[in-house]
């Protein structure tokens, strides 16, 4: 083919590829959580993904294999690749970078220097396009997306080449400074970690070149270099599946082997440790970071860090600066002593050395000395690794003694100062409540009930609960509340146990102002005493339906009968609730809905409203499904066709092309979710499949959807649910009514839907390098094809055979990839 191409052909190709690859993907017109359904909204690229990929790969061929174009001018192929990449990115905004996401690794290999120029230029722009792409990142794998994965993979591919390692490292470091963080694993900092892992470096560059890259990164972006070096220190938690490898350039030689020799490993680790220790020196912030890695440092560098920690430059720092470092060292030694039997634990001799250093840094102030008892998790403060209840009680005693000492040292002012400073002011209040004299009540109550400082509110909460637990209702009733406001009385009651005794006092003390209690009550159903139905009704009445749902789930947990009307009332009220999102338990919502679905006396209209409202939660991952809605889809052809019209536009000429409103999109998304989760075959009622009803349903769907202009998409969706049809009573693996429908001459759309669902039903799975699961699936569908063909369904059999052949190809590819050392396994 190369001998048939000339300079003018390459010029024409460049013009075409620039036109195609500078197209902005219209999916970016949609909100982030709607882009997964871009095809539903008609937001698709003019040019197909196959064409775009083919053109990008064409550029890669020009840039990587110019010698095969024997009739082109010297240097012409590489020049075309360079000029094309330059022109594509010359005015690239964030939308274009995002549109090219999956093609960036190929374009990078087509013209590496030009590609890196484009990335560097983008990083210097204001605003930077990558900032916007970082902000576009979604939070889940279904409705979200990471539009920078391709960029990271492109840079990882180029980092394999020693020539580009330093430049790529700085670019990734620069990108890391723009990265706000997120749930996706593909991040610039992670790419750097993967490239430089001492035991599995993902570059062919020499160790000297790797050192040069890290020195350069340290010089230009020290904050990123510091975090990277800490991660590269030897530890037992490093894993890697490798970085993206080049596909077009022969960067990785055939003789390259994964891994390094022991000598090479320690040469790198020693260099990383040397850099870390030199960067830390007497820097208090870096020394604090380094404490958690003391057990990862080679011996000589460990000694150097202890020397720095013991120096006058550090020990002479003000107490508030030393205290942070002392806390970290104390927590570090406590952990190793608590798990002294573990293989990773440091020896007692080494721990003793660290404790000597910690003692030099210890605060003299009683407040600071006891500070650490009220921060972090309780488990981290336990002194031994057994008998948790005993350890908890000991910790409570230590906290009580600490508060007592601070009270003697500086009075209530110091105790309140402690509460304002620590992570767990609630525990300060608990400890004080045990030892407090009555006069302290008047210092705290009611003044701190409405404190602006949230830590003081938590402190007061702990104090009230501790006092009530120690002295009972006598203490509550004995408080002089004559000057308290209604709000303060409501706040006091909200700290009481969630029982009928409390509810009665709320009614007696607050009267028409009961909302002051119910709007903030700690609605814990598991300790509730009395008629909890009354409490649930009150919570709904005063705008807390999610708390009411938690109580309803508590009833289920205690095997008490569920109040249907209250359940529906709470669920419907929760749809538009203004309660904070952290107060919503999706698990509890799903459990209550499942209980309603299993109640034969539930009003179908109520259940329909509930299932439609909570469709996003009723998926297979939650162990639930919209049973009533699925049943209605399977029994009511008109309803099915209505759902199709909510999702898809008609293909009839003259139909409105008006952009859907936000409400229309929400409804369409909900309808799409319903169809996507649908598993109940048409004609099924109460678990029994009826051929007659199946046939009637299908004919009605064909007639109605053809009239509305939705026939093709409707039949494709129908084909998907046919995958779940039951076996035939005569022995065939699928009911013959469904097989008849799928085998019809005009049923190609249904067969396509069936094939698609067969693939999707496999779900997420691990890749077996032997290809055995794929071989088994191929054989499975071959047998099914033979069975239906023998029963007279040759068209349906052809679809099943195509499935079988597809799995065979997958198996061949997996085995080939596994045997190819240059294949990217990530």
Mean pLDDT of the chain: 90
Any residues with CB less than 8 A from the CB of 288 and at least 6 apart, and which? Answer: 324, 325, 328
What is the rounded distance in angstroms from the CA atom of residue 367 to the CA atom of residue 359?
A: 16
Is it the case that residue 619 has pLDDT exceeding 50? yes
DSSP, res 384: S
Q: Which stretch, 22-36, 107-121, 365-379, has highest mean pLDDT?
A: 107-121
pLDDT in tens, 646-657: 999 888 755 555
Any residues with CB less than 8 A from the CB of 85 and at least 6 apart, and which? Answer: 59, 107, 110, 111, 114, 115, 118
What is the rounded distance in angstroms from the CA atom of residue 738 to the CA atom of residue 503?
A: 59
Is it the case that residue 791 has pLDDT exceeding 80? yes
Any residues with CB less than 8 A from the CB of 794 and at least 6 apart, and which? Answer: 743
Q: What angle do CA 789, 793, 796 make, to 5 degrees?
A: 95
Q: What is the mean pLDDT of residues 666-684?
A: 90
pLDDT in tens, 693-720: 999 999 999 999 999 999 999 999 999 9
- Average the pLDDT over each of 392-396, 500-504, 748-752 and give the range with the smallest value: 392-396
Residue scoring higher pLDDT (113 or 764): 113
Alpha-carbon distance values, 219 to 170, 213, 283, 524, 730 (Å): 10, 10, 17, 55, 77
pLDDT in tens, 159-193: 999 999 999 999 999 999 999 988 888 899 999 99
Q: What is the mean pLDDT of residues 1-7?
A: 81
User: Can you say whether the dihedral through the CA atoms of 770, 774, 776, 778 is positive or negative?
Assistant: negative
User: Can you say whether the dihedral through the CA atoms of 688, 690, 694, 700 is positive or negative?
Assistant: negative
Is it the case that residue 236 has pLDDT exceeding 60? no
Question: Given this model, what pLDDT does residue 238 score?
Answer: 64
What is the rounded distance in angstroms from the CA atom of residue 697 to the CA atom of residue 681?
A: 10
Is it the case that residue 194 has pLDDT exceeding 60? yes
DSSP assignment string, 210-233: HHHHHHHHHHH-HHHHHHHHHHHS
pLDDT in tens, 254-301: 777 777 888 989 999 999 999 999 999 988 999 999 998 898 888 889
Q: Identify the helix (H) or strand (E) that includes residue 175.
A: helix 162-178
State the SS3 of 750-812: HHHHHHHHHHHCCCCCCCCCCCHHHHHHHHHHHHHHHHHHHCCCHHHHHHHHHHHHHHHHHHH
Looking up tokens 């830590």, which residue turns up?
Answer: 455
Question: Given this model, what pLDDT does residue 653 score?
Answer: 59
What is the rounded distance in angstroms from the CA atom of residue 781 to the CA atom of residue 35?
A: 33
pLDDT in tens, 456-487: 999 999 999 999 999 999 999 999 999 999 99
Of the candidates 681, 705, 707, the one whose C-alpha atom is nearest the C-alpha of residue 695 is 681
Q: What angle do CA 11, 247, 770 make, to 5 degrees?
A: 145
Question: Given this model, what pLDDT does residue 588 score?
Answer: 93
What is the rounded distance in angstroms from the CA atom of residue 38 to the CA atom of residue 28?
A: 9
What is the rounded distance in angstroms from the CA atom of residue 758 to the CA atom of residue 803?
A: 8
What is the rounded distance in angstroms from the CA atom of residue 55 to the CA atom of residue 528?
A: 67
What is the rounded distance in angstroms from the CA atom of residue 261 to the CA atom of residue 240?
A: 17
Give the percent of the chain with pLDDT over 90. 69
CB 214 within 8 A of CB 222: no
Is it the case that residue 639 has pLDDT exceeding 80? yes
Looking up tokens 């608990």, which residue turns up?
Answer: 430
Written as six digits, the tokens of 217 are 């990164």
CB 62 within 8 A of CB 110: yes
Q: Identify the helix (H) or strand (E) that includes residue 587.
A: helix 586-597
User: Can you say whether the dihedral through the CA atoms of 251, 256, 258, 264 is positive or negative?
Assistant: negative
CB 171 within 8 A of CB 127: no
What is the rounded distance in angstroms from the CA atom of residue 179 to the CA atom of residue 174?
A: 9
Residue scoring higher pLDDT (515 or 337): 515
Written as six digits, the tokens of 29 are 């017109």
Buried b (16+ CB within 10 A) or exposed e, 387-411: eeeebeeebeeebbebbeebbeebe
What is the pairing mode between strands 684-685 and 688-689? antiparallel
CB 184 within 8 A of CB 151: no
Largest CA distance in the chain: 101
CB 325 within 8 A of CB 291: yes
Cis peptide before 164 (omega within 30 of 0): no
Is it the case that residue 576 has pLDDT exceeding 90? no
DSSP, res 128: -
Band the pLDDT of 826: cuts 50, 70, 90: very low
Number of neighbouring beta carbons within 10 Å of residue 311: 13
Is it the case that residue 746 has pLDDT exceeding 70? yes
Note the helical H segments in 617-746: 627-635, 637-647, 662-677, 691-708, 711-722, 736-743
Question: Given this model, what pLDDT does residue 561 score?
Answer: 87
Written as six digits, the tokens of 466 are 């501790």
Alpha-carbon distance values, 779 to 767, 775, 785 (Å): 18, 6, 10
Band the pLDDT of 821: cuts 50, 70, 90: very low
Written as six digits, the tokens of 604 are 């179908």
CB 277 within 8 A of CB 305: yes
Q: Is residue 260 left, alpha or beta, with left meaning phi > 0 and alpha meaning psi from -120 to 50?
A: beta
Contacts 24+ apart (CB under 8 A), 333-336: 333/358, 334/380, 334/381, 334/383, 335/380, 336/295
Give the bridge partners for 689, in sequence order.
684
Is it the case that residue 824 has pLDDT exceeding 80? no
Give the bridge partners for 688, in sequence order.
685
Question: Given this model, what pLDDT does residue 825 score?
Answer: 39
Domain ranges of the chain: 1-147, 389-527
In this structure, the chain runs to a length of 826
What is the rounded distance in angstroms from the CA atom of residue 43 to the CA atom of residue 21?
A: 17
Is it the case that residue 81 has pLDDT exceeding 60? yes
Looking up tokens 């049809």, which residue turns up?
Answer: 725
Note the helical H segments in 46-161: 49-64, 76-89, 94-99, 104-110, 112-124, 129-135, 149-159
């Amino acid at each position: 083919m190369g001998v048939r191409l000339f300079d003018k052909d390459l010029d024409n190709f460049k013009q075409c590829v620039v036109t195609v690859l500078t197209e902005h993907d219209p999916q970016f017109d949609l909100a982030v959580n709607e882009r997964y359904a871009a095809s539903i909204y008609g937001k698709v690229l003019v040019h197909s993904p196959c064409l775009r990929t083919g053109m990008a790969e064409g550029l890669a061929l020009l840039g990587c294999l110019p010698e095969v174009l024997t009739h082109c001018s010297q240097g012409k192929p590489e020049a075309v690749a360079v000029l094309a990449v330059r022109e594509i990115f010359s005015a690239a905004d964030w939308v274009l970078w995002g549109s090219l996401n999956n093609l960036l690794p190929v374009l990078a290999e087509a013209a590496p220097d030009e590609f890196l120029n484009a990335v560097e230029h983008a990083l210097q722009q204001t605003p930077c396009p990558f900032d916007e792409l970082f902000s576009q990142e979604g939070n889940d794998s279904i409705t979200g997306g990471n539009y920078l994965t391709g960029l990271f993979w492109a840079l990882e591919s180029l980092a394999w080449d020693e020539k580009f390692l330093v430049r790529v490292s700085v670019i990734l470091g620069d990108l890391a400074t723009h990265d706000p963080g997120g749930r996706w694993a593909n991040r610039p900092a992670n790419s750097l970690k993967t490239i430089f892992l001492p035991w599995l470096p993902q570059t062919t560059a020499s160790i000297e070149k790797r050192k040069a890259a890290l020195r350069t990164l340290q010089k230009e972006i020290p904050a990123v270099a510091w975090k990277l070096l800490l991660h590269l220190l030897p530890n037992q938690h490093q894993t890697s599946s490798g970085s993206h490898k080049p596909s077009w350039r022969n960067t990785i030689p055939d003789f390259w082997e994964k891994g390094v020799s022991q000598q090479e490993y320690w040469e790198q680790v020693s260099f990383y440790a040397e850099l870390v220790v030199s960067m830390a020196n007497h820097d208090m912030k870096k020394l604090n970071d380094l404490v958690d890695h003391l057990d990862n440092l080679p011996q000589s560098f460990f000694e150097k860090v202890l020397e720095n920690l013991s120096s006058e430059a550090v020990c002479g720092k003000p107490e508030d600066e030393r205290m942070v470092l002392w806390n970290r060292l104390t927590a570090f030694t406590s952990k190793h002593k608590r798990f002294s039997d573990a293989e990773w634990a440091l020896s007692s001799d080494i721990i003793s050395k660290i404790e000597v250093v910690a003692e030099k840094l210890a605060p003299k102030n009683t407040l600071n000395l006891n500070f650490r008892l009220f921060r972090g998790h309780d488990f981290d403060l336990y002194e031994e690794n057994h008998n948790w209840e005993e350890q908890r009680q000991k910790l409570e005693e230590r906290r009580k003694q600490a508060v007592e000492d601070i009270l003697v040292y500086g009075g209530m002012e110091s105790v309140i100062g402690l509460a304002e400073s620590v992570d767990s002011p609630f525990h300060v209040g608990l400890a004080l409540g045990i030892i407090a004299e009555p006069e302290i009540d008047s210092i705290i109550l009611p003044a701190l009930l409405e404190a602006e400082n949230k830590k003081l509110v938590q402190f007061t909460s702990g104090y009230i609960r501790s006092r009530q637990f120690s002295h009972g209702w006598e203490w509550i009733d004995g408080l002089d509340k004559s000057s308290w406001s209604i709000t303060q009385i409501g706040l006091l009651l909200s700290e009481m146990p969630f029982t009928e005794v409390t509810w009665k006092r709320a009614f007696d003390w607050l009267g028409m102002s009961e909302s002051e209690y119910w709007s903030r009550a700690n609605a814990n159903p598991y300790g509730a005493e009395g008629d909890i139905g009354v409490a649930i009704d009150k919570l709904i009445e005063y705008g807390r339906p999610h708390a009411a749902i938690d109580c309803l789930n508590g009833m289920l947990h205690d095997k008490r009968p569920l109040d249907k009307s209250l359940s529906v009332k709470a669920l419907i009220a929760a749809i538009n609730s203004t309660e904070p999102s952290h107060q919503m338990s999706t698990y509890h919502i799903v459990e209550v809905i499942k209980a309603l679905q299993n109640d034969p006396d539930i009003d179908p209209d109520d259940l329909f409203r509930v299932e439609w409202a909570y469709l996003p939660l009723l998926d297979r991952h939650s162990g639930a499904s919209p049973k009533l809605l699925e049943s209605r889809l399977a029994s009511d052809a008109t309803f099915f066709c209505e759902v199709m019209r909510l999702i898809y536009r008609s293909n009839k000429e003259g139909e409105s092309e008006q952009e859907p409103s936000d409400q229309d999109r929400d409804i369409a998304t909900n309808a799409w979710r319903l169809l996507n989760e649908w598993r109940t075959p048409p004609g099924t009622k109460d678990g029994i499949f009826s051929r007659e009803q199946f046939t009637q349903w299908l004919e009605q769907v064909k007639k109605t959807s053809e009239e509305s202009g939705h026939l093709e998409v409707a039949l494709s969706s129908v084909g998907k649910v046919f995958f779940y049809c039951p076996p035939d009573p005569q022995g065939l693996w699928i009911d013959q009514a469904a097989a008849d429908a799928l085998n019809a001459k005009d049923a190609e759309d249904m067969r396509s839907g069936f094939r698609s669902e067969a693939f999707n039903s496999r779900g997420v799975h691990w890749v077996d390098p032997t290809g055995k699961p794929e071989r088994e699936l191929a054989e499975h569908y071959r047998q099914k094809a033979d069975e239906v063909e023998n029963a007279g369904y040759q068209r349906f059999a052809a679809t099943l055979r195509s499935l079988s052949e597809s799995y065979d190809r997958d198996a061949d590819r997996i085995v080939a990839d596994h045997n190819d050392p240059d294949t990217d396994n990530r």
